[in-house]
Each structure stands twice: as C-alpha cells, then as structure tokens.
Structure 1
Amino acid sequence: MRYKILFFVLLATFCRADDGYRLWLKYDLIKDPGQRAAYARSAQFIVLTSNSPTLKAAADELQTGLRGLLGKTVPIVASAKTGGIVLSTNPNQPQVNDEGYQIVGKQNITISSKTDAGVLYGAFAFLRHLQTQQPIANLSLTSNPKIQHRMLNHWDNNDGSIERGYAGGSLWKWYELPERIDPRYRDYARANASVGINGTVVNNVNASSRFLTAEYLKKVAALADVFRPYGIKVYLSVYFPAPRTIGGLKTADPLDPEVNKWWAEKVNEIYKFIPDFGGFLVKANSEGQPGPQDYNRTHADGANMLAKALAPHKGIVIWRAFVYKADPNGDRFKAAYEEFKPLDGQFEKNVIVQVKNGPIDFQPREPFSPVFGMMPKTPLGMEFQLTQEYLGFATHLVYEAPIFKECLDSDTYVSGKGSTVAKVIDGSLHQYPLTAIAGVANTGSDRNWTGHPLAQANWYAFGRLAWDHTLSSEAIADEWVKMTLTQEPRSVKTVTDLLLKSREIYVNYNTPLGLSRPWTGVHFAPEPWQNRSPRPDWTAVYYHRADSIGLGFDRTASGSNALAQYHPEVQKQWNQLETCPLPYVLWFHHVPWTKKLSSGRTLWEELCTRFYTGADSVRWLQQQWAQVKPDVDAETFADVTGRLATQQKEAIWWRDAWVLYLQEYAKQPIPAPYKKPDRTLREVKELVDVYLTR
C-alpha cells in the first residue's frame, strides 16, 4: 500500500503541468531518497493537543506539506511519542513575542509559541526549512516578527475591477458572497500566513461608501471567517464623507457631534459582524478624495474622530500621507512632509500615519521619503507597492526586494548614524507603540495569482521582509526559487541572479540617473513630451524639466529646497552635484548636458549608455532564462519566455522615446557605439498614441 501511495504522488508530481496556482507552497516530492528518509524519521506523526482553528490549520498544513515532500501521509495524533512534530502553545515562553516561534529538534521536533498564530507561523517556517532542504538534526530556530501589523492593501472595487491591477479581476467575488465561499480565499490566507502577513485591506483606498453598508459588511464578515484561522485580520478602506452619502447627515465634519456619533454607531455595527475587525485605512484630501480639510480641519482631526470610534474595540486607523496639492509653483516632493510634520504628536494613540517609501509615487527608484524619522511622536507605517504600476505591469520582470531594501536600509541620521528607515517603522528608533508595513497587492483572478509568474516573488519578498527586514534580497530570492521553480543548483543560481539584476535593468531603460516617470493615465507608455493636464504635477515635463541647458529637478537651496526636509547628514550626500550618487543625481539637480559625471561621461553620454545597455540587457535576461529550460516546468518556462520577448520589444520602445525626445534638447549625436533608433520621434509618438487609445 505504501508503494502505491508513493507511485501516485510521483505520478502527480511529474505528470501535472504547473499553472502557478500553488505559489511557493508546492510541496513537491524531495528527489533525494536519503534526504527524504532523514526528514521522515523526525516526522512520523503530528501531535495536536488542541482543536483551536488556528492550531488545526497548522496541523493540516504540516500534513499536506509532509505528504507532498515525503510521499507519505503523516497522521495527526493527540499525544506525544518519539519521532514526531509537536505543536505547543505556551503563554509564558520568554524567547518569543506574541507571534514569534521557536522550533527545537531533540527526541521530537517541537514548534512552540505564546499564541496559536505563532505556532502556525512556525509550522510554515518548518516546512520552508524542508522545502529548501536544510538539515534538521539538532534543529534550533527562533524568530520574532519585527513589525506588528504586516498587511496587504487591495485596491479592489465592488464591481470586480482592481485599480492598478494587472493579473485579472478581483479575488473577491462580491456577487457570490456571503452565500458561496470560493476555495481560493483559503489558499490566499495560507499563502499570506506562510510569510507572516497578518492583515488585509480588502477594498480600494479610493473607497466606496457601499462597503460600510450591512449588505457588504456581511460579505466582508464571510471573508474574515475564512481568514481568521490563519491569523489574518480584515480592514476596510473608508470613504470619508460616508455620514452624508449613506448616513443621511448634512455634513461629514469630523468635529461635528452628530458625525462622531454616526461613526461610533457604524463601528459598533461592524464589530457585531466582525468581532476581530482590524480597523480603517483612509485616503483623504488626496487626488480628489474628500477629507477633513473640506471642513477646514486637519488630518489629525479626521483620523482622531475615527480612532475614538475604534478605540473601545482595539481597532486602529491607518491614515495615508499620500497628499499633494495642485501647486504650479510647488514641488510635489515636499507635500507629505509639509502636511504631516506640523501634526506630529497630535494623533490619537491608535493612529498610524502610512507613508509611501518615496516622496512621489512608487517610482522605479526614489530616495526615501523625508517624513521618515521626522515624526518621533507619531507611529509611521511603510507603504510599498507590489503591483507594478510604474514597473511594466505584468509584462516586465522586476524583482522588487532590492527596492524595498534600498528604502529600509537608508539612513535617516535623525538619532545619529544607523537610524535607518527600518528602525523608524519597526518602532525601535522612537519607541512607537504601534508599527505597520503595507504592500499594495499584486494579486488577481489569474490562475497564477500575479499575471507574471515571477511576480509571485514580490508578494513573497514583501512578506518575508515585513517579518524580518534584515533578510537580504539574495537570500529571499534563493528561497523563493527553490520553493517555486527548481532545486537544481545551477538553475537556482541563474534565476536568482536574473531576479537580482532585473530591477536595475528596468531602471536603466526606463528612468536612469534619477529621472522621474513620465506621466500617462495608465502609467505605462513612454510619453516624456506630455505637457497637458488639469494640474501641472500630472504632466511628464513637470518631473524631468528638460530644456536647452540640461535635465533634472533642482531640489537644492537654489531650487525647490526639498533637500532641507532631510537631516543635514543626508543633505550632504545629495546636495553637491559633484558628489551626488548617480542613481539620484536627477532627483536633486538640474544637470547640464555637457557636465562630466563621476563615470567620466557627460550627462548626455551617460544617459545614452544607460538607455541602450538597459534595453540590451533584456536580451541577457532572455538568454539566462533560456538556460533553465530543462529544470523549470514547461508551462511556466513558456509563459516567462513570452513575457520577456514582449519586455525586450517594449524596452527598445522606451529607449527610443527617451533618446529621441531628449536629443532635441541636448542637440548632440548619439555616442558610439550605439546605433541611432530605426524610427523617428514622430513615429514613436504615433505608436504611443495608438497604445493610449486602444
């Protein structure tokens, strides 16, 4: 019987095409019989002494994982014997915090924590240990999350669409809920729990009031019921004027007593549906969204009104700092700091101000936001973007862990050297009582979840860094490749290297030297000539400022003086053109075309070098990917191969648009050995127009 089971496991493993649905939780059979036997000796049974939903989820996951990895069914039992895996909750365990775990291997392998959720995270960590084929003899692992609230923000709408979604429609089938529960909801929860994500905002920050009605609260409650065993709390984005739009009030003024009463009653209603509801995410007075400033109130007034309503239930308010006014003479770079720095210390204790990693809007490369470190009395949360709004959608390969790490490891210097952004958001620098990190989700209804198969690595990397921001981009990529694509050492190294270099390749053909992204409505097509919009900061020319003299946005004292928002030690890094690192030079300086840079090339020469080598490097990505064909699932290989071919074509499109447009200002020939584009600027513009109107 045992051999029959093994046969069918092997048959399923080798005969099933990999459509990407299983993500990094594939649990395919370990090929090495010796390694498999060693693991099996320590995994003869799973001890489950409690029937709590979360511990049962942990035991079920272990059983599923071990069945796949070892080719046998491991029974779940109620009492301990020698040679098994014991799940243990101990509220007095000193080595871990509430969600941390300890894995110790002696006679039995014990996975323990103060809480059931911690045991669940430990179970996933143990399976990850086996999936990456690490030794388990004398196993001793202890891990604690560095940030409390580790969240995905879904920009999903109630019509099933996703703002900035590139992997199909919404995961949430609102028209079926609450009566039908799609099995995919549980798999979504499993994937998040496997990397330690413990919260999800299910709807768009450009919110609809409808989500606060009883009709939709029942639907959201059904999702919460699925997510709860996996340690995931549900949050809602809220429309600030909801007291008017669905409450029948004449105002949404946060200082109006009737408005406060309405929110308190609405919050009470929510908690009747969802007893462990997490709280609210709010986008207000930003990009046309109403907010407290409509009533001459501050962001703190608006946030505090909601915070007081949530406080009796231990809910939190996450208030986004992404705000900027349409000022033709201003600098959008400075907006968040100018709006929020004066409010430091004025927010209720259950409010977190959520700040984007950079000062503009999820650009391929940005300096860290100057808000980080400058509000010691107000908990600041991080907002990253997993969905590739400015990174080529689901067509272009961009591994985002280097983007996240670049920001997290940046030094604010606010309390001396080593005051990194990571230490700001994990609370250790200013002793924040609340800490949070959020990623704008890249999931959708596509079978493989993320559209581009390799974009799954961004979801995975976000979760791993949200748990432990000290992990390296390389270590995370290595884990993901081994768990998702292949265990063959040469191919693991090849794909890991490909991932690690992908972001810099994209930046080179898209926005080198600190160019900001030309604006278009879809944030995809190259359109550096775009100069018409209802507001100046929605044009391309606002950001790159190309003219006959040079290129770039002067943010020194002679320009907008945005640099003054940073600590003096940070200003020193970027203030002088001669010493400013090349990746940031056009962020802070208007550089003459003929200025020699630290590379030894003039600005024009360096730009051309970056545009051309970036586009050419996509061919390198294709060549590297071709090498792993024997070791990667055929369906996945073909999918990525096709996307890389499109990326190569579009990288040349970007290169040509930028080079031909900027050449009109630089008035210099394209330097050798680079070949002049085959098409004219007019032809590129026509191509863009076709794309934008299709």
Structure 2
Amino acid sequence: MTKYSLKNKYLLLLLLLVAINKAHADSGYKLWLEYNKITYQRASAVYRQQLRYLIFPAASDQLKAARGELLKGLDGMLSILPGDAKTITDGQTLVIGTRQSLKSLSIVVPDTIGSEGYLIKTAFIHQKKYTIITANTDVAVLYGVFNFLKLIQTNQPISNLNIADHPRIMYRVLDHWDNLNRTVERGYAGSSIWNWHKLPGIIDQRYIDYARANASVGINGSVINNVNADALILSPQYLTKIQALANVFRVYGIKIYLSVKFSSPVELGGLKTADPLDAAVKKWWADKADEIYRYIPDFGGFLVKANSEGQPGPQTYGRTHADGANMLADALAPHHGIVMWRAFVYDNNVPDDRSKQAYNEFKPFDGKFKDNVIIQVKNGPIDFQPREPFHPLFGAMPNTALMMEFQLTQEYLGFSTHLVYEAPLFAECLQSDTYTQGKGSTVSRVIKGDFNKKLITGMAGVANIGSDLNWCGHPFAQANWYAFGRMAWNPDQSPAAIADDWLKMTFTNNTVFVSPVKKLMLQSRENTVNYMTPLGLHHIMGVSTHYGPGPWVDNAGRPDWNATYYHKADSAGIGFNRTGTGSNALEQYAPQVNAHWGNLQTCPDEYLLWFHHLRWTYKMRSGRSLWDEMVHHYYQGADSVKQMGLTWDKMQGKIDAERFTEVKQLMQTQLAEATTWRDACVLYFQTFSKMPIGAGYPKPAHPLSYYKDMKFYYVPGIGGNNYMTN
C-alpha cells in the first residue's frame, strides 16, 4: 500500500468517525420530544408486544397530527410502526379516536374530562385486551396521544392503564415579547422565530415544531407580539401573515392572540382620539375585530398593556381600566374572544410604594369587568424578581377573573447563561395561602376559579423562545417552558415530578443521570436567590440591561427604577419597611398573612427584608447577625453553583457529548457571574454595615470600584426604552 493510499485510508476513517459523531450529536432542537430509542431490551420487548397494531380513524387535521405524532414516537422509541386495521377483531391492541368515532365500543368516559380532557384506559373487548385513548374532541385526543407517548418515554408501565385527565385552567398561553423587527424584548435565545418578511408564503418547519411542543404540554394559546405593541400588527399586511401562522397552530389546538396598542385607532385608524367611551373609537375596534375574525375565525383575543411605563391607555383620557377593557371586550364578544388586561401598572408620580399600585388601581373595580375580560397579574407585586411574595391581588378580587403571569425568560435570573429551574418558583407562589376565603385559599385555587365558578381562568408565561438552535439558549431553560405548560394544565403538579419527566424525555432514563441532575435542578433557583437577592432583597440588578449586580444604582431617571429605592441600606440597617410603621403594603393582604409576615417572630427569612428594615446586628434564627447571615447566603449561593458544576462533570459519557460540553461551559460562566454578584453586593453593603466579612470566606478579588465600573455592551433583550421592564 502506498503512502498516498494509506493517507487516504486514514482520511476516510477520520471522516467516518466524524460522521458517526455527528449522527450521535444532539443540538437540543427536538426539546423533550426526542423519542430516543429504548435500549433496555426487556422494556422494549414488552412495549413492542403491547403495541403491535393500531386502529386510529383520523379524518381531521388535528387527528392526523395526533396519528403522525404517535407513529413518529413509536418508531423512534421502538422502531415499530403499528399496522393499520379496520376492525377490532384481528388482534389489534391500540385503539384511538374521539368518543363519537368509537361509540360502538361503549366506552364510559367521565364527564369531568370536558372538551380538552382525555381517557387512556386498558379494556377487554370480546375477550381481547386493548389500550384505548379517547376524548370528546379531536384536540383532546392529541393531548392524550402525547401523554401516552410520555409514559413510554419515561419507562412507565402501560399494561393496565386508567388515566382520566383534564386541564384545570382554561387559557394556557405563552406571551412572546417579540417585535416586528425580530428583536425580542428580554429575549436571550436569539432573534424572534417569526420571520415576518417571509410570511405568509414560507412556513418554516420551526413553526410546526413550536406548535407540537406546546400541544405536548397542553398550551393552547400564543400571543405572538410584544406587550409594548406596534399598531402595525393590526394592519391587513400583517393580518395576512398572522393568518398563515394561525393555520399552522390550529392543527395543534393553539389559538393566536395579539398584543394591541391602546392608541391604535389614532395611529392606524386616523382618529383624533382613542377615548374608550367615544362612539367612533368603539366602532373602530368593533370593525377591526370583525376584520381579524375574517382572517382568523378562531382568533383568541387581545392582550393589553395600558397606562404603564409610557404606554397609552384609558387613563390618558380620564377613563378607568374597566372602561378600556370593557370597550375591547364588547368588540370581541360577538366572536367569543377575550381581553387579557395586564395589571402591571405603576406611576412615577404616585408617591407610594410601587408594590401597592396595582392593587390600589384594580381592587376598586372588582366585579366591574365584562365576563370576557381577565386581569393578568404578575406572580409578585414588583416585577418577576428571583423571589417575591405572592401578589396581593390574588384573592382580593373574588368577582373578577384573574390570570397568573409568570416569566420564563430569565430577565432577572441570569439570562440564558444560568441554570435556573423555575418550577419551584411557580409552585412557591401557587401554593401560597391567601386566606381570602379562609385557610386553604391558595393562589392556585384562586386562579382555578374554585371560589367563583362563573369566572374564566388563565395562566400566561412570558416566553423564553428564540431562533437559537436549541430554542431557549440554555439546554436547561427548555425545562421552564415545559414546566410552565405542565403547571398551566394543573397548577398543583410537583416540580420534582415534572423535572423527572423532563430529564427522561430530553436526555435519558438512566437513573445515574436523572437522580443527581434532578436534585441539582430543584436546588438551582434557591442557589440563584442566594447569590443575587437573599433574605428578601429585590430589584438590585444592573440598570437598563438588568444584567449583573447594581445595588448602588441611584440615578436611573425615576426613584422606583433605582436599586436604592428597594433595599434602603444605610448605616442603621437594610430592608424596605412595608409594615404599618412603613408603607403598610401588608395591609393589602388578608389579616392572617399580614400578621404572619408583619411579625418578626413569624416572618420567614426568605421575605425578611422585603417587609422589614432591620439593623445590621439584628439576631437571626441561625444565631448570626443580619450582616453575617447575608454574607453567608451570598457565599453559599456562589459555592452551590460550584457544586452544581462538580455534579455535572460526573455526567460525562451518560448523555451526548455536545450538550454535556455546552452545559459544562455554561456552568463555568454561571460560576464566574455568581461570584461577581456575590463580591459586588457584599462589598457594597459592607460600606453601610462597616462589619467584616467572616474569616472563613475568600475575600473578593477586586475592590468595589471595579464592580461599579463594569460595563456590558450590546446586552441582548433590550427594547427601545432602555429602562422598560415590561
């Protein structure tokens, strides 16, 4: 063999190895719908035996999508495509269809499943064993199929099933803060996935896969544009494009909603006013609604941000939030659309605690909103902070529909470089007891409408999705999208169970991987709170960008944009006094909650500085001084990130190399940024406490001036208004 041919042989071998490596690489694009091949032979054999054949009449587009998903999943996991059959007498084992299409089987379907629930049941028919997936509607069959596939993905037994499930929330919606120029406000995963220039003619496969992913967790709505809306979204030019997206989403049971600018009648319609009580304005909105529904017959409705952060609204014309929301509700009512009216309002000219303003503006209008209006309330009273107490509006408006708003995009949680599993944050809020209807009146029960069955219900999540190949920037950020869908379907689901499913569906069923990484995920949010905002501190991030620490910010243009407004550190102590001797924000909560958080003996450490201003030497439950406790939390937070990295290092070889390496590098970045947060905050607050950092802690690498002088250029996610927080 010549030297030349030998060289070629080695080159071919190298190319083959590269090809093999690429074949096993994983970009994360498939999300939790990986449908990885089941390698455990016994389990694979059992599934194969139980899934030999398929009866699945699929006439509608939704049922065809469900059937296609089922075949895709089964072939991917088991390398089988169950055969078709026309009757149930030939030994087929999997029967799927609507209740109507399977009526000859006389299957008893619980009334509780409604129009979106499903039944997965093992039954004996003519002395043969079948697995039946059925529901009252086509889209519910799709949900049932996804859940059935999840059972196999997570290695659950399917030989004796009796699952009847239904969503507890009606409107389960992703809110995209995407602009028409494809930037994404507070978006950290690339540009917008909506390629407006190519619509309506070109339907990207990503739109279909986006819809599939949402349907797989029961999300049934998508607001596709920024709440800081551009009036152009309502123009015919864009309605044609939106129609094309709606046609894709409809197949997967997803309705499109639009964020609308309240001044659209002026900016787009040429009117001189947008006064909601003006007859011409009412007509303009009614005509616009009629026009939208001609393009999109199943259009969901409007999301509105009004009279907040410079956005126009009814108060611009001396009217109320109820006046504005009800006017839009009347326009949508003939088409069964809804109005999601955001309660995120605060005014620099109101000389009161910012955390009180939404309650003060909306509470007086309880019962004044139309039946198709739902007030969208952030989980906490400030703005998606790493930790906040639940918003006082929950439970305070028993005659008004309230919609939970969580933020999946990590605006205050390290963007897309920090691993933060948000389900514990969601659960912490949802399981908080408001006491507004007595003990057990949890936020979850309030938003499910348990105390007023006449109300519509909803949950919204601010999307963390962008054009990055893996959708969310960080592989583990996908878990927040997944968890939101699961908890919007059922707000009482366990974060641990959700994490377990997501890891198995996304990576592997190997318990050597799943067990330690699930533990890591469940601890990750608390780690972040510790190195950013421990003990109830909040809103101390960098100005404008919200990137990195900025507890020293005091020149942001208005008081309630400054970090110093919130922590109120001085030589005497630190914390925002919201008790009766301070802003009295606690008065907005039920007496039991007020008493619990207002009393230093019962207020949890987690909310201590949210509600109290305390001296630096205040003795904590741990026996440490407040200063030493704060230092302890900051250092514990950063050290926990280091421990996360060590745990992850042990996962090498247990998943694909591509995602292992990506997460490893991200964890190294997170550790560096957590250390910066720790050092900057400890040094800054030390200028007030005048107390030493404990001898057991490593000293910060730089002086405070270094951290104050740090600049970050072209930070992603900044909108047109650098101080806008949405």
Q: CA deviation at 1:16?
A: 2.6
1:114 equivalent to 2:136? Answer: yes
> Do 1:513 and 1:582's aligned partners in 2 also have CA atoms closer than 8 Å?
yes
Identity across the alignment (%): 56
CA distance in structure 2 between the aligned counterparts of 1:441 and 1:12, rounded to whole angstroms: 35
Structure 1 position 32 matched with structure 2 position 55? no
Structure 1 counterpart of 2:337, which letter? G
State the alpha-carbon separation in 1 of the partners of residues 21 and 57 from structure 2: 32
Give the 5 Å matches for 1:73-152: 73-80=81-88, 81-90=90-99, 93=109, 94-106=111-123, 107-152=129-174
TM-score (norm 2): 0.92
Relative distance call for 1:690 and 1:320 in structure 2 (3 A) is: closer
* 2:75 equivalent to 1:58: no
One-letter identity of the residue aligned with 1:649: A
Equivalent residue, structure 2, for 1:589: 612
Letter in structure 2 aligned against 1:102: L
- Per the alignment, residue 451 of structure 2 pairs with 429
Partner SS state of residue 710, structure 2: helix
Greater CA drift, 67-76 or 343-352: 67-76
Q: Report the counterpart of residue 7 of structure 1 in structure 2.
A: none
Contact kept, 8 Å, 2:379 with 2:404, in 1: the verdict is yes
Q: Distance in 1 between matches of 2:487 and 2:20?
A: 33
Matches of 2:587 and 2:658 in 1, distance apart? Answer: 52
CA contact (8 A) 2:340 2:374 kept: yes
TM-score (norm 1): 0.97
| Runs of 5+ consecutive residues of structure 2 not aligned to the other structure | 1-18, 101-107, 124-128, 719-726
Question: Deviation at 1:76?
Answer: 4.4
Superposed displacement of residue 533, structure 1 = 2.2
Q: Which residue of 1 aligns with 2:56?
A: 48
In the TM superposition, residue 692 of structure 1 has moved relative to its aligned partner by 7.5
1: distance between equivalents of 2:557 and 2:706?
A: 26
Kept in 1: contact 2:343–2:375 (CA 8 A): yes
In structure 1, what is the equivalent of residue 510 of structure 2?
488
- 1:691 deviation in Å? 8.6
Equivalent in the alignment of 2:584: 561
Gap change, CA 1:204 and 1:190, over 3 Å in 2: same
Q: Which amino acid aligns with 2:378?
A: K
Deviation at 1:683, TM superposition (A): 1.3
Alignment of structure 1 residues 482-561 onto 2, 5 Å:
482-519=504-541, 520-561=543-584
Paired residues of 1:516 and 1:543 also in contact (CA < 8 A): yes
Which of 67, 71, 76 aligns to 2:75? It is 67
Kept in 1, the 8 Å contact 2:326–2:373? The answer is yes
Match of 2:668 in 1: 645
- Decide whether the 8 Å contact of 1:63 with 1:75 is kept in 2: no
Name the counterpart of 2:630.
607
Which secondary structure does the structure 1 equivalent of 2:302 belong to?
strand
* Residue pair 1:510, 1:651 contacting (<8 A) in 2 also: yes
CA distance in 1, matches of 2:503, 2:319: 50
Return the alpha-carbon distance in structure 2 between the equivalents of residues 689 and 529 of structure 1. Answer: 16
1:195-224 Cα offsets, whole Å, 9 max, x none, are 000000000000000100000001111000
- Secondary structure of the residue aligned to 2:164 is strand
Other structure's SS at 2:653 match: helix
Secondary structure at the residue paired with 2:376? strand
Q: Does 1:217 align with 2:239?
A: yes
Equivalent positions of 1:360-375 (< 5 A) are 360-375=382-397
Distance in 1, Cα, partners of 2:559 & 2:454: 37
CA apart distance, 1:82 = 2.8
Q: Does the Cα contact within 8 Å between 2:54 and 2:92 map onto a contact in 1?
A: no
Contact 2:122–2:159 (8 Å) recurs in 1: yes
Aligned AA (2:117): G
What is the 5 A alignment of 1:673-692?
Answer: 673-688=696-711
What SS does the aligned partner of 1:629 have? coil
What is the CA-CA distance between 1:534 and the residue it aligns to? 2.1
Matches for 1:168-183 after TM superposition, within 5 Å: 168-183=190-205
Return the letter of the residue paired with 2:422: E
2:155–2:509 CA contact under 8 A, matched in 1: no
Aligned position for 2:595: 572
Tell me if 1:167 matches 2:189: yes
Q: Shift of residue 64 of structure 1?
A: 0.2
Q: After superposition, give the CA deviation of every residue in 1:556-582 in whole Å (9 maximum; x if it has no partner).
A: 000000000000011121001232100
Q: SS at the partner of 1:503?
A: helix
Deviation for aligned residue 1:43: 1.6
SS in structure 1 at match of 2:251: helix
Q: Which amino acid aligns with 1:524?
A: Y
Change over 3 Å in CA distance of 1:13–1:260 after alignment to 2: farther
- Give me the whole-angstrom Cα distance separating, in 2, the residues matched to 1:417 and 1:430: 17
Q: Which residue of 1 aligns with 2:426?
A: 404
Supply the distance in 1 between the matched residues of 2:138 and 2:699 (Cα, whole angstroms): 62
Quote the Cα distance in structure 2 between the aligned partners of 1:527 and 1:281: 32
Query: Is the contact made by 2:24 and 2:656 (CA closer than 8 Å) also made in structure 1?
Result: no
Following the alignment from structure 2 to structure 1, what is the Cα–Cα distance between the partners of residues 207 and 679?
43
Structure 1 residues 126, 690: CA separation in 2 closer, same or farther (over 3 Å shift)? closer
Query: Which stretch shifts more, 677-686 or 504-513?
Result: 677-686
User: For 1:304, what is the secondary structure of its paired residue?
Assistant: helix
Q: Does structure 1 retain, via aligned residues, the 8 Å contact 2:175–2:462?
A: yes
**Counterpart for residue 401 of structure 2:** 379
Q: Does the 8 A contact of 1:13 with 1:28 survive in 2?
A: no
Does the 8 Å contact 2:85/2:92 carry over to 1? no
Cα 1:72–1:689 change in 2 (3 A) is closer
Aligned to 1:3: none
| Structure 2 equivalent of residue 199 of structure 1 | 221
* 2:15 equivalent in structure 1: none
On the 8 A contact 2:265/2:281 being kept in 1, the answer is yes
Give the partner amino acid of 2:701.
Answer: D
Counterparts in 2 of 1:551 and 1:76: CA distance versus 1, 3 Å:
farther
Paired letter, 1:338: N
Residue deviations 1:231-253, cap 9 Å, x none? 00000000000000010100000
1:494-524 CA-to-partner distances (Å, cap 9, x unmatched) read: 1100100000111000000010121410111
State the match for 2:290 in structure 1: 268
TM-superposed deviation, 1:301: 0.4
CA distance in 2, matches of 1:578, 1:667: 26
Question: Which residue in the other structure is 2:299 paired with?
Answer: 277
- The alignment of Structure 1 onto Structure 2 pairs a total of residues equal to 684
Match of 1:4 in 2: none
SS in 1 for 2:461: strand
CA distance in 2, matches of 1:168, 1:75: 42
Residue by residue over 1:131-150, the C-alpha shift from the partner in whole angstroms, topping out at 9 and shown as x without a partner, is: 00111111111111100110
Matched, 1:353 2:353: no
Structure 1 residue 40: deviation in Å?
A: 1.5
2:356 corresponds in structure 1 to 334
Shift of 1:328: 6.8
Moved more, 619-628 or 325-334: 325-334
Mapped partners of 2:56, 2:64: distance in 1: 7
**Residues in 2 aligned to 1:186 and 1:455: alpha-carbon distance in whole angstroms:** 20
Give the distance between the partners of 1:349 and 1:207, measured in 2 at CA: 24
